Chains A and B, each alone.
Chain A
Amino acid sequence: MNKSLIFILLAGLLASCDEAATYKKQAVDGIQYMAIGSDGDGCMRYQIKSTSQMSAQVILYKTIDGGYTPNKKMSLCSF
């Protein structure tokens, strides 16, 4: 098993186990990403939040590189 695969599996495990965290924050230009629970596949969903601005009301998923995407097929849980 190569290192990449191990990393993917670990990241996927982490992503599916953080339901207890109400907020999963990542500071990117003041934007925060709030975990709002898993979908039917066990894939954690996030919502963009900003304390000072309004935000798009679209569901995001985590990517393999720790970022976020609205495209579940490109997300970590699709690997």
Chain B
Amino acid sequence: MSALLLSGCGGGGGGGSSSNVAPTPVPVAADYRTTEYNTQYGLGKINADDIYADGYSGSGVVVGVIDTGVDIDHPDLVSNIASGGYDYVDTDADASPVSQGVGMSHGTHVAGIIAGMKNDVGMHGVAYSAKILPLRAGNSAGSFASSAIENSIDRAISQNAKVINASFGGSSIATSLADKWKSAHTNDIITVHAAGNDGGANPLLGAQLPLHAGYTDLSSTLVAVVAVDSNNTITSYSNRCGDAKNWCMAAPGDSIYSTVAVDDSNYASNYGTMSGTSMADPHVAAAAAILRGKWPSKNASEIVTILYDTATDLGDTGVDAIYGRGLLNLDNALFAQGALTISVASGGSHLLGDSTISVASTLGNALNGSFGITIFDRYKRDYAYDMSQLVRHKAHANIENELNFVDNSRSVEIDDLWLKVNQSDQSLKLQAKLKGFDLGFAHNTDFSEVEMDGFSSQYSVSKNAQFASLNSGSSIMIGRPNLSLGLATGYVGVDDRHPAKKLNLSLKTKPTKALSMAVQLGHIQEEETFLANYFSGAYKTGKSNTNTLDFTIKSKLTNDAELILKHAQGVTQVSSLNDSVVSNVSNLKSQQYSATFMNNNNFYKDDVLFATMKKPMHITQGDMTLHMANGLNADDSVSFLDRVVLLSAVDLKTELTVGYSAEYAKDSQITAAYNRINLFNTDLTIDNQFMLKFNQKF
């Protein structure tokens, strides 16, 4: 026998809801490459645009800028100045520079690199939503008194600064100042130090502090910064990381465009260019601010580690004496690193890649809605994730499978022994009558679907009427003609891999010649699925038990016409597991029904017209509770919330199949069918299929 099959699928219509409201465009990195972004080339060098598109820019974080004063009224800074600044040179509350000099705009320039406002004017800072705490410790000549720096550190601590920028340095450092830097470390502040502009092999002393006894702990929160040019090459004047290489990294520092004091005679406008490790330093300080704003529960050491681990390697492979940890890479620093996990309340976690939700038709489109879950990276940083990306749908049966033509089977009947073999699915069914009993054995198929006298064996248009159709298993059946008991073991699920057992008791009756009825009671036990839905990893569920009741009525309307009605319903109990996000599943009610009409001898002898309307097996009532992570608490522990998710298939449409089959010539048959089905994986899309089939026996 051969078969020629032509089928086609039409794009669906109907289904789903529509809205005239245009969706809000999702920001992309290119949206942030504005004129003011491009004016400060350092932003592009550290890949800042990507993180802006993700919504991160340092909001809520105060950066202490210990410098020569910040022009707090500068139009590109004024909104990003934190209260509480101080001038420790002139000892007053106005931290703006007060006199002309080479250092007059130094602090204003540094502040602009960190948090210049994003307002389509001039330029903007790396962390344009952060706040600058201006602390004036240097005079307009660019000289910093140790006592002023020490007072500034104290104030930064008291004003809750999370990062301190120190674009200054020297060849000596007072013990009292070193102790203040240690105090900043103790208070969980990241301190970022310019390596210095001597072109030497090692950074200035402040950046080398962790090399000295009593200050080694500072290596986890103190960052030394060397300056690279626009080609990512170390500048000739920048000190190298040298002995401080393990807490040192590189950032753009040559010819950086930023804000300058409005009345600085060195500049003709409110903006200008400066070079030096002083300019590289604030790039790193701002990056640290962005990370601290995004993950406030992370301590200074953790944030610094992330900056190091995600830097772009420059120079010799790995940590080296020139570039240290490498070039600041802000995009990479914000990007999730390592294996991604889903946390569960029991304290464990599951790999995101191991956590899938394989949805059978019973769940339909219930989980198609998009809702967020929280996942974590190797640094236990929380990221929003769309749970619908974990959902896998079984490819919907195409029309050939839906109609289930039994073309490839062979059957042999000898006296009371009946054997049927199907090549295509490698199934075998053996039945025998022995002393008035029906005995059966089946492999890769089962006896669970009620088979009734007169029911057409050619079309199983009500396929899937039974609960949890088993595959690749075996079943046995014993019974009388009107009463049978069946036991089956097999596999269910989208991938037919999950073990299940089924027990059926079937009662058939034929009260009149034209009417047949059957009732089937069933019990299904699934090891790791429920109604063939498989939740794995973080969403894993335990055993499920389903009790089912099926009715089948077949009525012979005329000699040629018959009507078959089916209805099945069930109740499922699902056990939950301790280490799962699914903390509870309510009792699930489910049902399926179909009506099939078949008429023979319409235009030719033995031709068949058939039509079926079917509501597929689906959950009608029930929900599950997800005890899911939703972020990090202030103490860096994972916070959880409960979310109830309805499991009833939403707005499930009725499926329709109509067709006609007739003998084309001797030993050949032609069939045409139209099928309209739901496609759950595209959210209520209706798919239209048409099939033309030709069979020829040889």
**Interface residues, chain A, with chain B CB atoms under 8 Å away:** 28-31, 34, 36-37, 45, 47-48, 50, 53-60, 67-74
Partner of B272, one of A53, A67, A71: A71
Chain B residues, CB < 8 A from A30: 143
B475 interface contact, C-beta 8 A: no
> Which of A57, A58, A70 lies at the interface centre, i.e. has the most chain B CB atoms within 10 A of its CB?
A57
A70, B143: Cβ atoms closer than 8 Å: no
B274 interface contact, C-beta 8 A: yes
How many contacts between A and B, using CB within 8 angstroms? 120
B273, A54: Cβ atoms closer than 8 Å: no
Q: Which of B251-301 contact A (CB under 8 A)?
A: 255, 266-268, 272-279, 281
Q: Which of B224-275 contact A (CB under 8 A)?
A: 236-237, 255, 266-268, 272-275
Q: Given that A30-B143, A55-B169 are contacting pairs, would A73 and B273 also be in contact in the complex, using a CB cutoff of 8 Å? A: yes
Provide a sorted-by-A list of 22 A–B residue pairs whose CB atoms are within 8 angstroms: A29-B141, A36-B199, A36-B236, A36-B237, A47-B276, A53-B143, A54-B146, A54-B169, A55-B144, A56-B67, A56-B68, A56-B138, A56-B167, A56-B278, A57-B204, A58-B275, A58-B276, A69-B266, A70-B272, A72-B273, A72-B275, A74-B267
B106, A70: Cβ atoms closer than 8 Å: yes
SS class, residues of chain A in contact with chain B: strand
B237, A53: Cβ atoms closer than 8 Å: no
Q: Which of B147-196 contact A (CB under 8 A)?
A: 149, 167-170, 173, 194-196
- Chain B residue at minimum C-beta to C-beta distance from A56: B142
> Which of A30, A31, A53, A71 lies at the interface centre, i.e. has the most chain B CB atoms within 10 A of its CB?
A53
Chain A residues, CB < 8 A from B206: 54
With both chains docked as a complex, state the minimum distance between the C-beta of A27 and any C-beta of chain B, in angstroms. Answer: 12
- Chain A residue at minimum C-beta to C-beta distance from B193: A57
Partner of B144, one of A47, A56, A68: A56
B274, A70: Cβ atoms closer than 8 Å: yes
Contact with A along B98-131 (1 / 0, CB 8 A): 0000110110010000000000000000000000
B275, A37: Cβ atoms closer than 8 Å: no
B197 interface contact, C-beta 8 A: yes
B6 interface contact, C-beta 8 A: no
B606 interface contact, C-beta 8 A: no
Q: How far is the CA of A64 from the CA of B351 in the complex (A)?
A: 65
B277, A57: Cβ atoms closer than 8 Å: yes
Q: How far is the CA of A15 from the CA of B279 in the complex (A)?
A: 24
With both chains docked as a complex, state the minimum distance between the C-beta of B343 and any C-beta of chain A, in angstroms. Answer: 44
Chain B residues, CB < 8 A from A37: 199, 236-237
SS class, residues of chain B in contact with chain A: loop
- Chain B residue at minimum C-beta to C-beta distance from A68: B102
Partner of B266, one of A34, A48, A50, A71: A71
> Which of B109, B194, B276 lies at the interface centre, i.e. has the most chain A CB atoms within 10 A of its CB?
B276
B145 interface contact, C-beta 8 A: yes
With both chains docked as a complex, state the minimum distance between the C-beta of B200 and any C-beta of chain A, in angstroms. Answer: 10
- Chain B residue at minimum C-beta to C-beta distance from A63: B266
A57, B194: Cβ atoms closer than 8 Å: yes
Q: How far is the CA of A62 from the CA of B131 in the complex (A)?
A: 34
Chain A residues, CB < 8 A from B198: 34, 36, 47
Q: Given that A53-B145, A71-B266 are contacting pairs, would A58 and B279 also be in contact in the complex, using a CB cutoff of 8 Å? A: yes
With both chains docked as a complex, state the minimum distance between the C-beta of B271 and any C-beta of chain A, in angstroms. Answer: 11
Partner of A47, one of B149, B197, B255: B197
Chain A residues, CB < 8 A from B237: 36-37, 45, 47, 59
With both chains docked as a complex, state the minimum distance between the C-beta of A36 and any C-beta of chain B, in angstroms. Answer: 5
A58, B274: Cβ atoms closer than 8 Å: yes
Chain B residues, CB < 8 A from A68: 102
Q: Given that A56-B67, A56-B144 are contacting pairs, would A69 and B102 also be in contact in the complex, using a CB cutoff of 8 Å? A: yes
> Which of B169, B237, B255 lies at the interface centre, i.e. has the most chain A CB atoms within 10 A of its CB?
B237
Lowest 10 A-B CB distances belong to which pairs? A56-B142, A54-B170, A57-B194, A58-B276, A57-B278, A59-B275, A54-B144, A47-B197, A48-B142, A58-B278
Chain B residues, CB < 8 A from A70: 102, 105-106, 109, 266, 272, 274-275
With both chains docked as a complex, state the minimum distance between the C-beta of B273 and any C-beta of chain A, in angstroms. Answer: 7
B103, A71: Cβ atoms closer than 8 Å: no
B141, A31: Cβ atoms closer than 8 Å: yes
Partner of B168, one of A29, A57, A74: A57
Q: Given that A37-B236, A53-B170, A68-B102 are contacting pairs, would A58 and B142 also be in contact in the complex, using a CB cutoff of 8 Å? A: yes
Q: Given that A28-B141, A31-B141, A47-B198 are contacting pairs, would A56 and B273 also be in contact in the complex, using a CB cutoff of 8 Å? A: no
Chain B residues, CB < 8 A from A57: 167-169, 194-197, 204, 276-278, 281
Q: How far is the CA of A53 from the CA of B102 in the complex (A)?
A: 16
With both chains docked as a complex, state the minimum distance between the C-beta of A9 and any C-beta of chain B, in angstroms. Answer: 23
B143, A31: Cβ atoms closer than 8 Å: yes
A74, B266: Cβ atoms closer than 8 Å: yes
- Chain A residue at minimum C-beta to C-beta distance from B280: A57
Q: How far is the CA of A37 from the CA of B238 in the complex (A)?
A: 11
B143, A48: Cβ atoms closer than 8 Å: yes
Q: How far is the CA of A58 from the CA of B67 in the complex (A)?
A: 12
Chain A residues, CB < 8 A from B144: 53-56
Q: How far is the CA of A70 from the CA of B237 in the complex (A)?
A: 14
Q: How far is the CA of A5 from the CA of B196 in the complex (A)?
A: 36
Q: How far is the CA of A68 from the CA of B140 in the complex (A)?
A: 12
Chain B residues, CB < 8 A from A53: 143-146, 170
Q: How far is the CA of A13 from the CA of B643 in the complex (A)?
A: 76
> Which of B102, B196, B199, B204 lies at the interface centre, i.e. has the most chain A CB atoms within 10 A of its CB?
B102
- Chain A residue at minimum C-beta to C-beta distance from B166: A54
